[in-house]
Chains A and B, each alone.
Chain A
Amino acid sequence: MIRSHVLVCGGTGCTSSGSPAIREHLEKELKRQGLDEEIKVVQTGCFGLCALGPIMIVYPDGTFYSRVTEDDVTEIVSEHLLKGRPVERLIYNPKDEDMPHGVTSLSETPFYKAQKRIALRNCGVIDPEQIDEYIAVDGYLALGKVLTEMTPQQVIDLIKASGLRGRGGAGFPTGTKWQFAANNAADEKFVICNADEGDPGAFMDRSVLEGDPHAVLEAMVIAGYAIGGTHGYIYVRAEYPIAVKRLKIAIEQARAYGLLGKNIFGTNFSFDVDIRLGAGAFVCGEETALMTSIEGNRGEPRNKPPFPAVKGLFAKPTIINNVETLANVPQIIVQGPEWFSSMGTDCSKGTKVFALGGKINNTGLVEIPMGTTLRQILFEIGGGIPDGKAFKAAQTGGPSGGCIPAEHLDTPIDYENLKAIGSMMGSGGLIVMDEDNCMVDIARFFLEFTVDESCGKCTPCRIGTRRLLEMLNKIIEGNGTLEDLDKMEELCHYITNNALCGLGQTAPNPVLSTLRYFRDEYVAHVVEKRCPAGVCKKLLHYEIDPNKCTGCTLCARKCPVSCIAGKVKEPHVIDQSKCIKCGACMENCKFGAISKK
């Protein structure tokens, strides 16, 4: 008889910090101490607090262990699982919070308290490789209800009423998209799940697929029923091996239960789903390029119109929904559209998952109601900036998005508000930057990415982004002029207006938004030939303060190019013409005599 469940995170984050070895060790240790009949080990999806992985939760008491190592396992088993004494030193306890240890306090921690988990509701709760566990938490209930009680039009109306919008970035109303496809009669129609998550720093779709793959499958069948679809494809990148594996298991289990295949729930509706692996091209996340790729061709976008709902995959009416969008659908049907639309702002309903990364304490995955401010996400849930540094900007929307400066920290986050301040929702990557980040360098980072990933089909994107990158490099190397800034801005608008697909059209956003909010940094690079954050190497130099230097010779010995000269017990000097700006001297100086300028 099982008296306790030990949940071990099996998401990609915790897997890379060693959770599989911990699980194995735990199972061995339970057996050794004769507890394997009464304690069950469950591998789950992502808990969200990736910075503190590997993560382990012990139920029924709900004790939350973080940064567990293999060595800790024996102690957890003999102390906590056998004798009931939680291992205090491993319990997650946010510093500034004096919480009673242990019992079900997880949902009370600042990281989880302000969150509202819908798309992530089963991540870290169920074993994603067991369909029965998904069914236990009301899984496939929505599908049953839809197939036996509702007409396709009623399903579409319900999704419309909920106000659900696409979570992939653009925010198109999901119900309306379904309606377009439903209105077009055809012998075959397709449902595609877009799991080609390509933004640097974004990993929410991966986590949903890893933690709750059945929710996505269930939603695809529901979508298929609503539009009169016959087949579904999940387009997922091959770089997500855990997600792919769990999806395959989920599809097999759903087929075995008859939840995919012919005559689902005894009705005359039949629908099946297959996986298509992407090779990791960023452009294949763009819907038309994605379809071209599934068709077996090189992943290049095509013109819209015709829209996919009219002429999509294999020239048949098709809907393409993002993973997170789909993950919301079963819950909306079970709990009702009013429940969903009661959350969020006027035009953006429900919740949004963000992947927190960059200069933030709680790196990880959070799901918050729309309308939450950036300040709440970063400073309450995210735990603020490490080392007491000052916040400079947050980047949303990846290479298609923009930077949000401190003055907009209190903007409630929704699709329209983000657009108004020059960024976009994007798929939900949220990269935080502090005073040590140079905004020109950040713009260059994203431009480098788009130049690499441009498919090359249209000229504005292929050549335009490259020219933009060249101008940024010129500025970073100290050769820029003020005219370059104006030229860059003009080129940005040209690309936005003329590129073929969404990726090209939004590629200049990182440049435009940094120019808008951090023009002073650009000007400092161009006019003063200075990088205020001290990042751009060409514009920096290291100096030794003769008043502080004791002549210990340590810097001269550490310098890899031997450009520091000076006698023992006399101030040293750096030869600027030879210096490669590696910073080794400054790191090693014990007297703080060396500074970066």
Chain B
Amino acid sequence: MKSLQELAEIRDKMKGKVALREGHNDIRIVVGMATCGIAAGARPVLSTLVEEVEKQGLGSRAIVSQTGCIGICRLEPIVEVFEAGKEKVTYVKMTPEKAKQVVKEHIKGGTPVYEYTIGEK
């Protein structure tokens, strides 16, 4: 270690990797991962979300987690976004492409992608 710069580089590189364990995140992105969800393709949606959150540098604000059956199996894969002080947003029939867009526009940009939410048919 020859300089503080070097230390800071390692720290910045590693920070995102352990941030997962802090549990104090403002936004929770929850993927329905019951049998119905998995059968409808929730696994690639989940991994895309994890990847995108990290890629967009949102690791310290948002966590991606799973839940069981949400109850409307015909609309799986379902992704729900919980944000403190805001109403929950439920996305249905998700795909990895849609997931990318949600992370970019909703999680980073702050505006839900209404066309994918449960209210839109």
Contacts and interface: CB of A to CB of B under 8 A. Distances in A.
Given A5-B21, A265-B3, 7 more contacts: A3-B64, A5-B20, A60-B64, A83-B68, A85-B34, A85-B68, A135-B10
A6 to B, nearest CB: 10
25 contacts: A1-B47, A1-B51, A3-B47, A3-B50, A3-B64, A5-B20, A5-B21, A59-B23, A62-B23, A83-B34, A84-B32, A85-B68, A103-B23, A104-B24, A125-B21, A132-B10, A133-B18, A136-B11, A136-B18, A140-B1, A144-B4, A148-B4, A259-B1, A263-B2, A265-B4
Contacts of B63: 60-61
A62 B28 CA distance: 13
Contact of B20 (A59, A84, A103, A265): A59
Given A7-B21, A266-B3, A60 B11 contact: no
Given A84-B33, A136-B15, A141-B7, A104 B23 contact: yes
A257 B34 contact: no
Contacts of B30: 84
Interface in B1-29: 1-4, 7, 10-11, 13-15, 17-18, 20-21, 23-25
Contacts of B7: 135, 140-141, 144, 265
A138 B14 CA distance: 10
Interface residues of B, number: 35
Contacts of B32: 84
Interface in A44-78: 59-62
Interface of B: 1-4, 7, 10-11, 13-15, 17-18, 20-21, 23-25, 30-35, 38, 46-47, 50-51, 54, 63-68
B86 to A, nearest CB: 17
**Most chain A CB inside 10 Å of its own CB: which residue of B1, B15, B20, B30:** B1
A5 B20 CA distance: 7
A59 B15 CA distance: 15
Contacts of B14: 132-133, 135-136
Contact of B2 (A59, A104, A258): A258
Contacts of A103: 23
Contact of A59 (B11, B13, B21, B38): B21
Contacts of B15: 136
B43 to A, nearest CB: 9
Given A3-B47, A84-B67, A148-B4, A135 B33 contact: no
B11 A1 contact: no
Given A1-B47, A1-B54, A266 B20 contact: no
Contacts of A259: 1
Contacts of B66: 83-84
B2 A266 contact: yes
B46 A3 contact: yes
A85 B64 CA distance: 14
A125 B65 CA distance: 19
Interface of A: 1-5, 7, 38, 59-62, 82-85, 103-104, 125-126, 132-133, 135-138, 140-141, 144, 148, 257-259, 263-266
A311 B25 CA distance: 52
Nearest to A34: B43
Nearest to A35: B43
A264 B7 CA distance: 12
Contacts of B50: 1-3, 38
Given A2-B50, A3-B46, A84-B65, A264 B34 contact: no
A82 to B, nearest CB: 7
A257 B23 CA distance: 30
Contacts of B11: 135-136, 138, 141
A554 B17 CA distance: 64
Contacts of A61: 23, 63, 65
Contacts of B35: 83
A144 B9 CA distance: 13
Nearest to B52: A1
Q: What are the 9 closest A-B residue pairs judged by CB atoms, nearest first?
A: A84-B66, A136-B14, A60-B63, A3-B50, A84-B33, A104-B23, A85-B68, A258-B1, A62-B23
A257 B20 contact: no
A83 B42 CA distance: 10
Nearest to B16: A136
Nearest to B21: A59
B18 A126 contact: yes
A492 B53 CA distance: 66
A83 B3 contact: no
Contact of A136 (B17, B51, B67): B17
Contacts of B54: 1
A437 B101 CA distance: 66
A434 B34 CA distance: 49
Nearest to A61: B65
A133 B22 CA distance: 13
Given A140-B7, A265-B2, A265-B4, A84 B17 contact: no
A311 to B, nearest CB: 34
Nearest to B68: A85
Contacts of A59: 20-21, 23
Nearest to B62: A60
**Most chain B CB inside 10 Å of its own CB: which residue of A59, A60, A148:** A60
B51 to A, nearest CB: 5
Contacts of B24: 104
Nearest to B63: A60
A3 B64 CA distance: 7
Contacts of A138: 11
Nearest to B10: A135
A103 B15 CA distance: 22
A304 B64 CA distance: 60
A408 B94 CA distance: 62
